[in-house]
Structure 1
Protein backbone atom coordinates (compact mmCIF):
# COMPACT_ATOMS: atom_id res chain seq x y z
CA UNK A 1 0.00 0.00 0.00
CA UNK A 2 1.27 3.47 -0.85
CA UNK A 3 2.35 5.80 1.98
CA UNK A 4 -0.49 7.95 3.23
CA UNK A 5 1.01 11.28 2.10
CA UNK A 6 1.40 10.00 -1.47
CA UNK A 7 -2.16 8.68 -1.44
CA UNK A 8 -3.42 12.00 -0.07
CA UNK A 9 -1.92 14.26 -2.73
CA UNK A 10 -2.92 11.83 -5.48
CA UNK A 11 -6.50 11.65 -4.20
CA UNK A 12 -6.79 15.43 -3.86
CA UNK A 13 -5.35 16.07 -7.33
CA UNK A 14 -7.87 13.74 -8.96
CA UNK A 15 -10.83 15.14 -7.02
CA UNK A 16 -10.81 18.55 -8.69
CA UNK A 17 -10.81 20.06 -12.15
CA UNK A 18 -7.61 20.05 -14.25
CA UNK A 19 -5.68 23.13 -15.34
CA UNK A 20 -3.07 22.96 -18.14
CA UNK A 21 0.46 24.26 -17.71
CA UNK A 22 -0.01 27.15 -20.16
CA UNK A 23 -2.91 28.47 -18.09
CA UNK A 24 -0.92 28.08 -14.86
CA UNK A 25 1.87 30.20 -16.31
CA UNK A 26 -0.63 32.79 -17.55
CA UNK A 27 -2.63 33.06 -14.32
CA UNK A 28 -0.12 32.23 -11.61
CA UNK A 29 3.50 32.06 -12.83
CA UNK A 30 4.82 33.61 -9.58
CA UNK A 31 8.52 33.70 -10.40
CA UNK A 32 8.70 36.43 -7.73
CA UNK A 33 6.67 35.41 -4.70
CA UNK A 34 6.39 34.86 -0.98
CA UNK A 35 6.65 31.22 0.13
CA UNK A 36 5.47 29.61 3.35
CA UNK A 37 6.14 25.98 4.25
CA UNK A 38 4.07 23.61 6.37
CA UNK A 39 4.52 20.01 7.49
CA UNK A 40 0.95 18.75 7.33
CA UNK A 41 -0.39 15.35 8.46
CA UNK A 42 -2.11 13.63 5.54
CA UNK A 43 -5.64 13.69 7.06
CA UNK A 44 -5.37 17.45 7.74
CA UNK A 45 -4.10 18.02 4.22
CA UNK A 46 -7.14 16.23 2.78
CA UNK A 47 -9.47 18.45 4.84
CA UNK A 48 -7.73 21.58 3.54
CA UNK A 49 -7.68 20.34 -0.05
CA UNK A 50 -11.37 19.46 0.15
CA UNK A 51 -12.23 23.02 1.13
CA UNK A 52 -10.06 24.62 -1.54
CA UNK A 53 -11.22 22.37 -4.38
CA UNK A 54 -14.91 22.53 -3.46
CA UNK A 55 -16.87 23.54 -6.62
CA UNK A 56 -18.92 25.87 -4.40
CA UNK A 57 -15.87 27.89 -3.38
CA UNK A 58 -16.38 31.61 -4.12
CA UNK A 59 -14.38 32.43 -7.22
CA UNK A 60 -14.27 28.78 -8.24
CA UNK A 61 -12.26 25.83 -6.95
CA UNK A 62 -8.51 25.44 -6.95
CA UNK A 63 -7.61 23.22 -9.91
CA UNK A 64 -4.86 20.62 -10.26
CA UNK A 65 -2.01 21.13 -12.71
CA UNK A 66 -2.39 18.47 -15.39
CA UNK A 67 0.07 17.55 -18.15
CA UNK A 68 -0.70 14.74 -20.61
CA UNK A 69 -3.29 13.40 -18.20
CA UNK A 70 -0.90 13.35 -15.23
CA UNK A 71 -1.76 15.19 -12.02
CA UNK A 72 1.20 14.17 -9.88
CA UNK A 73 4.79 14.57 -11.03
CA UNK A 74 8.16 13.16 -10.03
CA UNK A 75 10.86 15.72 -9.33
CA UNK A 76 14.61 15.20 -9.09
CA UNK A 77 16.83 18.17 -8.22
CA UNK A 78 20.56 18.54 -7.71
CA UNK A 79 21.77 21.53 -5.68
CA UNK A 80 25.20 23.08 -6.20
CA UNK A 81 27.28 24.77 -3.52
CA UNK A 82 30.89 25.67 -2.75
CA UNK A 83 33.15 23.21 -0.89
CA UNK A 84 32.47 25.17 2.33
CA UNK A 85 28.72 25.34 1.70
CA UNK A 86 28.51 29.08 1.16
CA UNK A 87 24.83 28.92 0.14
CA UNK A 88 23.86 26.95 3.25
CA UNK A 89 25.73 29.29 5.60
CA UNK A 90 24.48 32.46 3.89
CA UNK A 91 20.92 31.25 4.50
CA UNK A 92 21.76 30.22 8.06
CA UNK A 93 23.08 33.71 8.79
CA UNK A 94 20.13 35.40 7.06
CA UNK A 95 22.36 37.30 4.66
CA UNK A 96 20.44 39.66 2.42
CA UNK A 97 22.45 38.69 -0.68
CA UNK A 98 21.88 34.94 -0.67
CA UNK A 99 21.10 32.43 -3.38
CA UNK A 100 20.55 28.78 -4.17
CA UNK A 101 21.68 27.06 -7.35
CA UNK A 102 20.13 23.87 -8.65
CA UNK A 103 19.35 21.71 -11.63
CA UNK A 104 15.72 20.67 -11.64
CA UNK A 105 14.60 17.63 -13.60
CA UNK A 106 10.99 16.85 -14.38
CA UNK A 107 11.06 13.10 -14.70
CA UNK A 108 7.67 12.70 -16.34
CA UNK A 109 8.23 15.23 -19.13
CA UNK A 110 11.99 14.99 -19.72
CA UNK A 111 12.50 18.73 -19.13
CA UNK A 112 15.57 20.10 -17.34
CA UNK A 113 16.06 23.61 -15.97
CA UNK A 114 19.02 25.44 -14.45
CA UNK A 115 17.60 27.60 -11.66
CA UNK A 116 18.92 30.38 -9.44
CA UNK A 117 16.77 31.38 -6.48
CA UNK A 118 17.45 34.82 -5.01
CA UNK A 119 16.07 36.77 -2.07
CA UNK A 120 14.32 39.91 -3.28
CA UNK A 121 14.37 43.35 -1.69
CA UNK A 122 10.97 42.72 -0.05
CA UNK A 123 12.05 39.38 1.38
CA UNK A 124 10.34 37.52 -1.45
CA UNK A 125 11.81 34.69 -3.49
CA UNK A 126 12.84 35.53 -7.07
CA UNK A 127 13.59 32.67 -9.44
CA UNK A 128 15.74 32.91 -12.58
CA UNK A 129 16.11 29.95 -14.91
CA UNK A 130 17.22 28.74 -18.30
CA UNK A 131 16.57 25.43 -20.05
CA UNK A 132 19.20 22.71 -20.11
CA UNK A 133 19.50 20.74 -23.32
CA UNK A 134 21.51 17.75 -24.41
CA UNK A 135 24.40 17.02 -22.07
CA UNK A 136 24.73 20.62 -20.76
CA UNK A 137 25.18 20.83 -16.98
CA UNK A 138 25.17 23.75 -14.51
CA UNK A 139 28.96 23.59 -14.46
CA UNK A 140 29.28 24.28 -18.20
CA UNK A 141 30.08 27.71 -19.65
CA UNK A 142 26.53 28.78 -20.67
CA UNK A 143 25.20 28.22 -17.15
CA UNK A 144 28.28 29.76 -15.55
CA UNK A 145 27.75 32.85 -17.68
CA UNK A 146 24.06 32.97 -16.78
CA UNK A 147 24.92 32.67 -13.08
CA UNK A 148 27.54 35.41 -13.30
CA UNK A 149 25.19 37.78 -15.11
CA UNK A 150 22.28 37.06 -12.78
CA UNK A 151 24.24 37.63 -9.56
CA UNK A 152 25.97 40.73 -10.93
CA UNK A 153 22.71 42.29 -12.12
CA UNK A 154 20.68 41.43 -8.99
CA UNK A 155 23.30 41.83 -6.27
CA UNK A 156 26.41 43.35 -7.82
CA UNK A 157 28.50 40.39 -6.60
CA UNK A 158 30.73 37.85 -8.31
CA UNK A 159 29.61 34.27 -8.79
CA UNK A 160 31.46 31.57 -6.81
CA UNK A 161 34.16 29.94 -8.89
CA UNK A 162 34.21 26.57 -7.12
CA UNK A 163 30.88 24.75 -7.31
CA UNK A 164 30.05 21.09 -6.99
CA UNK A 165 26.90 18.96 -6.60
CA UNK A 166 26.06 18.98 -2.89
CA UNK A 167 22.57 17.52 -2.37
CA UNK A 168 19.90 15.79 -4.41
CA UNK A 169 16.19 15.57 -3.67
CA UNK A 170 13.42 13.34 -4.99
CA UNK A 171 9.69 13.62 -4.33
CA UNK A 172 6.22 13.43 -5.81
CA UNK A 173 4.35 16.73 -6.31
CA UNK A 174 0.80 17.88 -6.96
CA UNK A 175 0.15 21.56 -7.66
CA UNK A 176 -3.13 23.40 -7.05
CA UNK A 177 -3.81 26.76 -8.69
CA UNK A 178 -6.21 29.69 -8.37
CA UNK A 179 -5.80 33.26 -9.61
CA UNK A 180 -2.56 34.65 -8.13
CA UNK A 181 -2.14 31.66 -5.79
CA UNK A 182 -0.40 28.35 -6.07
CA UNK A 183 0.00 25.53 -3.60
CA UNK A 184 2.62 22.82 -4.10
CA UNK A 185 2.15 19.59 -2.17
CA UNK A 186 5.09 17.19 -1.92
CA UNK A 187 5.21 13.64 -0.59
CA UNK A 188 7.82 10.91 -0.35
CA UNK A 189 10.74 13.34 -0.02
CA UNK A 190 14.17 11.68 -0.10
CA UNK A 191 17.37 13.75 0.26
CA UNK A 192 20.87 12.52 -0.57
CA UNK A 193 24.08 14.17 0.65
CA UNK A 194 26.31 13.82 -2.41
CA UNK A 195 29.49 14.13 -0.34
CA UNK A 196 28.83 11.84 2.63
CA UNK A 197 26.44 9.57 0.69
CA UNK A 198 23.91 9.71 3.53
CA UNK A 199 20.19 9.65 2.82
CA UNK A 200 17.21 11.10 4.71
CA UNK A 201 13.60 10.03 4.16
CA UNK A 202 10.70 12.25 5.13
CA UNK A 203 7.95 10.85 7.37
CA UNK A 204 5.54 9.13 4.96
CA UNK A 205 2.52 10.54 6.82
CA UNK A 206 3.49 14.19 6.20
CA UNK A 207 2.74 16.37 3.19
CA UNK A 208 5.11 19.28 2.65
CA UNK A 209 2.77 22.11 1.66
CA UNK A 210 4.18 25.35 0.26
CA UNK A 211 1.91 28.33 -0.37
CA UNK A 212 3.10 30.77 -3.01
CA UNK A 213 1.64 34.23 -3.60
CA UNK A 214 2.67 37.78 -4.45
CA UNK A 215 0.90 39.14 -1.39
CA UNK A 216 0.00 38.26 2.17
CA UNK A 217 -1.61 35.20 3.75
CA UNK A 218 -3.48 32.99 1.31
CA UNK A 219 -6.71 31.11 1.92
CA UNK A 220 -4.64 27.94 2.37
CA UNK A 221 -2.51 29.65 5.04
CA UNK A 222 -5.60 30.71 6.95
CA UNK A 223 -7.17 27.25 6.72
CA UNK A 224 -4.03 25.57 8.02
CA UNK A 225 -3.91 28.04 10.90
CA UNK A 226 -7.49 27.13 11.87
CA UNK A 227 -6.41 23.47 11.92
CA UNK A 228 -3.60 24.33 14.33
CA UNK A 229 -0.82 24.04 11.72
CA UNK A 230 1.76 26.82 11.78
CA UNK A 231 4.49 27.58 9.23
CA UNK A 232 7.60 25.44 9.61
CA UNK A 233 11.14 26.76 9.36
CA UNK A 234 11.89 24.23 6.65
CA UNK A 235 13.62 24.26 3.28
CA UNK A 236 14.53 21.10 1.42
CA UNK A 237 18.15 22.18 1.05
CA UNK A 238 18.99 23.63 4.46
CA UNK A 239 16.81 21.32 6.57
CA UNK A 240 18.21 18.25 4.85
CA UNK A 241 21.79 19.30 5.52
CA UNK A 242 20.91 20.08 9.13
CA UNK A 243 19.64 16.53 9.56
CA UNK A 244 22.27 14.74 7.47
CA UNK A 245 25.24 16.60 8.97
CA UNK A 246 24.49 17.09 12.68
CA UNK A 247 27.77 18.97 13.15
CA UNK A 248 26.56 21.88 11.01
CA UNK A 249 25.25 24.90 12.97
CA UNK A 250 21.68 24.65 11.68
CA UNK A 251 19.66 25.28 14.83
CA UNK A 252 17.00 27.35 13.07
CA UNK A 253 15.99 24.30 10.98
CA UNK A 254 16.67 21.55 13.51
CA UNK A 255 13.19 21.30 15.04
CA UNK A 256 11.39 21.05 11.69
CA UNK A 257 14.08 18.73 10.30
CA UNK A 258 13.61 16.37 13.25
CA UNK A 259 9.86 16.37 12.71
CA UNK A 260 10.24 15.70 8.98
CA UNK A 261 13.05 13.15 9.05
CA UNK A 262 13.11 11.84 12.63
CA UNK A 263 10.63 9.06 11.91
CA UNK A 264 11.19 8.86 8.20
CA UNK A 265 14.14 6.50 8.02
CA UNK A 266 16.99 8.35 9.67
CA UNK A 267 20.40 8.90 8.14
CA UNK A 268 21.09 5.91 5.94
CA UNK A 269 24.62 5.41 4.67
CA UNK A 270 24.72 4.75 0.94
CA UNK A 271 27.50 3.03 -0.91
CA UNK A 272 29.94 5.43 -2.60
CA UNK A 273 29.32 3.47 -5.77
CA UNK A 274 25.85 5.06 -5.88
CA UNK A 275 27.54 7.94 -7.69
CA UNK A 276 27.62 11.33 -6.00
CA UNK A 277 26.72 13.98 -8.50
CA UNK A 278 25.05 11.65 -10.98
CA UNK A 279 22.01 13.41 -12.40
CA UNK A 280 18.92 11.59 -13.60
CA UNK A 281 17.03 13.17 -16.47
CA UNK A 282 13.43 13.91 -16.45
CA UNK A 283 10.67 16.58 -14.56
CA UNK A 284 7.94 20.63 -14.48
CA UNK A 285 7.78 24.33 -14.03
CA UNK A 286 6.70 25.39 -10.55
Structure 2
Protein backbone atom coordinates (compact mmCIF):
# COMPACT_ATOMS: atom_id res chain seq x y z
CA UNK A 1 0.00 0.00 0.00
CA UNK A 2 1.30 3.47 -0.90
CA UNK A 3 0.94 6.03 1.87
CA UNK A 4 0.19 9.53 0.65
CA UNK A 5 2.82 12.11 1.60
CA UNK A 6 1.43 14.87 3.79
CA UNK A 7 1.58 18.48 2.73
CA UNK A 8 3.88 20.93 4.62
CA UNK A 9 2.63 21.88 8.09
CA UNK A 10 0.75 25.12 8.74
CA UNK A 11 3.36 27.80 9.32
CA UNK A 12 1.67 29.78 12.11
CA UNK A 13 1.04 26.81 14.39
CA UNK A 14 4.47 25.32 13.64
CA UNK A 15 6.18 28.58 14.56
CA UNK A 16 4.25 28.68 17.83
CA UNK A 17 5.17 25.19 19.03
CA UNK A 18 8.81 25.65 17.99
CA UNK A 19 9.05 29.03 19.71
CA UNK A 20 7.54 27.70 22.93
CA UNK A 21 9.71 24.58 22.95
CA UNK A 22 13.02 26.34 22.29
CA UNK A 23 12.34 28.94 24.98
CA UNK A 24 11.71 26.26 27.62
CA UNK A 25 14.36 24.32 29.51
CA UNK A 26 14.96 20.86 27.98
CA UNK A 27 14.20 17.39 29.31
CA UNK A 28 15.61 14.15 27.88
CA UNK A 29 13.45 11.25 26.71
CA UNK A 30 14.87 9.03 29.47
CA UNK A 31 13.93 11.55 32.17
CA UNK A 32 10.50 12.10 30.60
CA UNK A 33 9.79 8.37 30.78
CA UNK A 34 11.00 8.27 34.39
CA UNK A 35 8.98 11.26 35.57
CA UNK A 36 5.87 11.13 33.39
CA UNK A 37 5.42 7.98 31.28
CA UNK A 38 1.62 8.07 31.80
CA UNK A 39 0.61 4.97 29.87
CA UNK A 40 -2.51 5.13 32.05
CA UNK A 41 -3.89 8.66 32.21
CA UNK A 42 -6.74 11.11 31.74
CA UNK A 43 -6.62 12.98 28.43
CA UNK A 44 -8.29 16.29 27.63
CA UNK A 45 -8.23 17.87 24.16
CA UNK A 46 -8.20 21.56 23.26
CA UNK A 47 -8.20 23.53 20.01
CA UNK A 48 -6.04 26.51 20.91
CA UNK A 49 -5.31 29.63 18.84
CA UNK A 50 -1.55 29.99 18.37
CA UNK A 51 -1.26 33.28 20.29
CA UNK A 52 -3.24 31.90 23.26
CA UNK A 53 -1.09 28.76 23.19
CA UNK A 54 2.08 30.85 23.51
CA UNK A 55 0.70 32.74 26.51
CA UNK A 56 -0.39 29.58 28.32
CA UNK A 57 2.81 27.61 27.72
CA UNK A 58 4.85 30.70 28.59
CA UNK A 59 3.26 30.66 32.05
CA UNK A 60 3.83 26.93 32.52
CA UNK A 61 7.50 27.11 31.53
CA UNK A 62 8.39 30.10 33.72
CA UNK A 63 11.54 29.38 35.72
CA UNK A 64 9.90 30.52 38.97
CA UNK A 65 6.77 28.40 38.59
CA UNK A 66 5.81 26.86 41.98
CA UNK A 67 6.70 23.18 41.91
CA UNK A 68 9.09 23.65 39.01
CA UNK A 69 8.61 24.68 35.40
CA UNK A 70 7.40 22.50 32.57
CA UNK A 71 10.31 21.47 30.33
CA UNK A 72 10.35 20.67 26.62
CA UNK A 73 11.34 17.25 25.32
CA UNK A 74 14.68 17.53 23.50
CA UNK A 75 16.34 14.75 21.47
CA UNK A 76 19.58 15.38 19.54
CA UNK A 77 18.92 19.10 19.59
CA UNK A 78 15.37 18.82 18.27
CA UNK A 79 12.37 20.20 20.14
CA UNK A 80 9.64 19.37 17.60
CA UNK A 81 9.18 15.91 16.09
CA UNK A 82 7.39 14.46 13.08
CA UNK A 83 4.77 11.78 13.79
CA UNK A 84 3.10 9.48 11.28
CA UNK A 85 0.31 7.13 12.35
CA UNK A 86 -1.84 4.61 10.52
CA UNK A 87 -5.09 3.55 12.21
CA UNK A 88 -6.65 0.13 11.64
CA UNK A 89 -10.36 -0.61 11.75
CA UNK A 90 -12.85 -3.15 10.44
CA UNK A 91 -14.57 -2.64 7.05
CA UNK A 92 -17.60 -1.31 8.96
CA UNK A 93 -15.45 1.01 11.16
CA UNK A 94 -16.22 -0.78 14.40
CA UNK A 95 -13.71 1.29 16.38
CA UNK A 96 -15.21 4.56 15.12
CA UNK A 97 -18.78 3.49 15.91
CA UNK A 98 -17.87 2.08 19.33
CA UNK A 99 -16.45 5.50 20.22
CA UNK A 100 -19.48 7.27 18.73
CA UNK A 101 -21.80 5.18 20.88
CA UNK A 102 -19.65 5.62 23.99
CA UNK A 103 -19.21 1.91 24.47
CA UNK A 104 -17.33 1.01 27.63
CA UNK A 105 -15.22 -1.68 25.92
CA UNK A 106 -13.79 0.43 23.12
CA UNK A 107 -10.34 0.59 21.59
CA UNK A 108 -8.20 2.11 18.85
CA UNK A 109 -5.47 0.26 16.97
CA UNK A 110 -2.62 2.03 15.20
CA UNK A 111 0.96 1.96 14.03
CA UNK A 112 2.91 5.00 15.14
CA UNK A 113 6.14 6.05 13.42
CA UNK A 114 8.50 8.55 15.02
CA UNK A 115 9.88 9.79 11.74
CA UNK A 116 12.96 11.57 13.08
CA UNK A 117 14.29 8.40 14.76
CA UNK A 118 12.61 5.70 12.68
CA UNK A 119 11.14 4.07 15.80
CA UNK A 120 7.86 2.22 15.15
CA UNK A 121 5.27 1.04 17.66
CA UNK A 122 2.12 -1.03 17.40
CA UNK A 123 -0.30 0.56 19.87
CA UNK A 124 -3.66 -0.34 21.36
CA UNK A 125 -5.51 2.40 23.25
CA UNK A 126 -8.21 1.21 25.65
CA UNK A 127 -10.73 3.03 27.82
CA UNK A 128 -10.22 2.20 31.49
CA UNK A 129 -12.87 1.62 34.13
CA UNK A 130 -12.54 5.21 35.44
CA UNK A 131 -12.76 6.75 31.98
CA UNK A 132 -8.98 6.98 31.74
CA UNK A 133 -6.91 6.01 28.71
CA UNK A 134 -4.71 2.91 28.93
CA UNK A 135 -2.09 2.43 26.22
CA UNK A 136 -0.46 -0.90 25.37
CA UNK A 137 2.57 -0.90 23.06
CA UNK A 138 4.58 -3.45 21.12
CA UNK A 139 7.76 -2.40 19.22
CA UNK A 140 7.88 -2.99 15.47
CA UNK A 141 11.29 -3.97 14.15
CA UNK A 142 12.70 -4.50 10.68
CA UNK A 143 10.07 -6.05 8.43
CA UNK A 144 7.43 -6.30 11.18
CA UNK A 145 3.97 -5.20 10.13
CA UNK A 146 1.07 -4.12 12.35
CA UNK A 147 -1.03 -7.02 11.07
CA UNK A 148 1.70 -9.65 11.41
CA UNK A 149 1.26 -12.83 13.41
CA UNK A 150 3.02 -11.57 16.53
CA UNK A 151 1.13 -8.28 16.50
CA UNK A 152 -2.24 -9.98 16.06
CA UNK A 153 -1.41 -12.25 19.00
CA UNK A 154 -0.48 -9.18 21.07
CA UNK A 155 -3.79 -7.55 20.13
CA UNK A 156 -5.76 -10.70 20.96
CA UNK A 157 -4.03 -11.10 24.34
CA UNK A 158 -4.52 -7.41 25.22
CA UNK A 159 -8.25 -7.40 24.46
CA UNK A 160 -8.80 -10.77 26.11
CA UNK A 161 -7.10 -9.74 29.36
CA UNK A 162 -8.52 -6.20 29.48
CA UNK A 163 -12.05 -6.74 28.20
CA UNK A 164 -12.56 -10.53 27.85
CA UNK A 165 -13.49 -10.02 24.19
CA UNK A 166 -12.10 -11.41 20.94
CA UNK A 167 -10.01 -9.25 18.66
CA UNK A 168 -11.53 -8.16 15.33
CA UNK A 169 -10.32 -10.39 12.50
CA UNK A 170 -10.87 -8.17 9.44
CA UNK A 171 -8.69 -5.15 10.18
CA UNK A 172 -7.68 -2.80 7.36
CA UNK A 173 -5.82 0.53 7.26
CA UNK A 174 -8.43 3.26 7.65
CA UNK A 175 -6.80 6.64 8.33
CA UNK A 176 -3.31 8.13 8.37
CA UNK A 177 -2.23 11.20 10.33
CA UNK A 178 0.89 13.36 9.99
CA UNK A 179 1.82 16.26 12.23
CA UNK A 180 4.61 18.01 14.14
CA UNK A 181 4.64 17.64 17.93
CA UNK A 182 6.32 19.37 20.86
CA UNK A 183 5.91 17.91 24.34
CA UNK A 184 6.13 19.71 27.69
CA UNK A 185 6.60 17.80 30.94
CA UNK A 186 6.36 18.31 34.69
CA UNK A 187 6.16 15.64 37.39
CA UNK A 188 3.16 13.44 36.59
CA UNK A 189 1.92 15.80 33.87
CA UNK A 190 2.44 16.06 30.14
CA UNK A 191 1.19 18.41 27.45
CA UNK A 192 1.43 17.42 23.79
CA UNK A 193 1.13 20.20 21.24
CA UNK A 194 0.50 19.30 17.60
CA UNK A 195 0.68 21.52 14.53
CA UNK A 196 0.12 21.03 10.82
CA UNK A 197 -2.12 17.97 11.17
CA UNK A 198 -2.97 16.28 7.87
CA UNK A 199 -5.35 13.29 7.80
CA UNK A 200 -5.90 10.96 4.85
CA UNK A 201 -8.80 8.53 4.48
CA UNK A 202 -6.89 5.47 3.25
CA UNK A 203 -10.00 3.95 1.67
CA UNK A 204 -10.99 7.00 -0.41
CA UNK A 205 -7.70 9.00 -0.58
CA UNK A 206 -9.52 12.14 0.57
CA UNK A 207 -7.37 14.48 2.67
CA UNK A 208 -8.13 17.16 5.24
CA UNK A 209 -5.78 19.67 6.87
CA UNK A 210 -5.92 21.37 10.28
CA UNK A 211 -6.67 25.11 10.31
CA UNK A 212 -3.44 27.07 10.09
CA UNK A 213 -3.87 29.08 13.30
CA UNK A 214 -4.70 26.19 15.67
CA UNK A 215 -2.50 24.14 17.95
CA UNK A 216 -4.03 20.83 19.02
CA UNK A 217 -3.25 20.53 22.72
CA UNK A 218 -3.76 17.46 24.89
CA UNK A 219 -3.22 17.51 28.63
CA UNK A 220 -2.31 14.13 30.10
CA UNK A 221 -2.10 13.30 33.78
CA UNK A 222 -3.13 10.81 36.41
CA UNK A 223 -5.49 13.49 37.78
CA UNK A 224 -8.74 14.85 36.40
CA UNK A 225 -7.66 18.51 36.23
CA UNK A 226 -4.20 20.04 35.95
CA UNK A 227 -2.72 23.53 36.08
CA UNK A 228 -2.57 23.51 32.27
CA UNK A 229 -6.31 22.82 32.13
CA UNK A 230 -7.04 25.65 34.55
CA UNK A 231 -4.88 28.10 32.59
CA UNK A 232 -6.60 27.17 29.34
CA UNK A 233 -10.00 27.62 30.99
CA UNK A 234 -8.88 31.04 32.28
CA UNK A 235 -8.15 31.98 28.66
CA UNK A 236 -11.70 30.88 27.72
CA UNK A 237 -10.53 27.74 25.95
CA UNK A 238 -12.74 24.84 26.93
CA UNK A 239 -12.13 21.12 26.31
CA UNK A 240 -13.16 20.01 22.83
CA UNK A 241 -15.02 16.83 21.96
CA UNK A 242 -12.32 15.88 19.50
CA UNK A 243 -9.98 13.05 18.57
CA UNK A 244 -7.84 12.98 15.44
CA UNK A 245 -9.38 9.70 14.31
CA UNK A 246 -13.05 10.42 14.85
CA UNK A 247 -12.82 14.14 14.12
CA UNK A 248 -11.17 13.53 10.76
CA UNK A 249 -13.83 11.03 9.73
CA UNK A 250 -16.54 13.51 10.74
CA UNK A 251 -15.22 15.77 7.95
CA UNK A 252 -13.92 13.23 5.45
CA UNK A 253 -17.12 11.16 5.49
CA UNK A 254 -19.98 13.58 6.15
CA UNK A 255 -22.58 10.82 5.83
CA UNK A 256 -21.26 9.08 8.95
CA UNK A 257 -23.32 9.67 12.13
CA UNK A 258 -20.66 11.81 13.83
CA UNK A 259 -22.63 14.64 15.41
CA UNK A 260 -20.71 14.50 18.71
CA UNK A 261 -17.48 15.48 16.88
CA UNK A 262 -18.92 17.60 14.07
CA UNK A 263 -18.71 21.01 15.76
CA UNK A 264 -15.12 20.64 16.93
CA UNK A 265 -14.07 19.04 13.65
CA UNK A 266 -15.47 21.97 11.67
CA UNK A 267 -13.44 24.31 13.89
CA UNK A 268 -10.29 22.20 13.66
CA UNK A 269 -10.14 21.46 9.93
CA UNK A 270 -10.20 23.63 6.83
CA UNK A 271 -13.21 22.90 4.59
CA UNK A 272 -12.71 20.25 1.93
CA UNK A 273 -12.48 21.61 -1.63
CA UNK A 274 -15.60 21.29 -3.74
Q: Report Cα offsets for 1:58-113 as digits up to 9, x if no partner.
A: 11110000111111000000000000000000000000000000000000011000
Q: How does 1:135-150 map to 2 (within 5 A)?
A: 135-150=143-158
Q: Secondary structure at the match of 1:238?
A: helix
Q: Tell me how far apart the structure 1 counterparts of residues 206 and 10 of structure 2 sit (CA, whole Å).
A: 24
Distance apart, 1:267 and its partner CA: 2.8
User: Residue 6 of structure 1 corresponds to which residue in structure 2?
Assistant: 14
Instruction: Report whether the alignment pairs 1:55 with 2:63.
Output: yes
Q: Secondary structure at the match of 2:21?
A: helix
| Residue matched to 1:103 | 111
1:4, distance to aligned residue in structure 2 (A): 1.0
Residue equivalent to 1:242: 250
Per-residue deviation, 1:168: 0.1
- 1:282 — aligned with what? none
Structure 1 residue matching 2:169: 3-state secondary structure: coil
- Segments ≥4 residues shifted beyond 2 Å: 266-269
Aligned length: 266
Is structure 2 residue 235 aligned with structure 1 residue 227? Answer: yes
Task: Decide whether the 8 Å contact of 2:241 with 2:261 is kept in 1.
Answer: yes
**CA spacing shift, 1:193–1:268, aligned 2, 3 Å:** farther
2:31 aligned partner:
23
SS at 2:240 equivalent: coil
1:34 is matched with 42
Inter-partner Cα distance in structure 1 for 2:213 and 2:223: 30
TM norm structure 1: 0.92
* 1:179 corresponds to 2:184: no
1:138 CA drift (Å): 1.0
One of 213, 232, 236 as aligned partner of 1:205: 213
Give the Cα separation in 2 of the matches to 1:143 and 1:165.
15
| Secondary structure in 1 matching 2:170 | coil
1:45 maps to which of 43, 47, 53: 53
Counterpart CA distance in 2 for 1:103 and 1:192 is 15
C-alpha displacement of 1:135:
1.4
- Find 1:122's aligned residue among 107, 112, 130: 130
Tell me, yes or no, if the aligned pair for 1:182 and 1:213 is still in contact at 8 Å.
yes
- Asked if the contact 1:200–1:268 (Cα under 8 Å) also holds between the matched residues in 2, the reply is no
Corresponding residue for 2:167? 159
User: Residues 268, 138 of structure 1: CA spacing in aligned structure 2 closer, same or farther, 3 A cutoff?
Assistant: farther
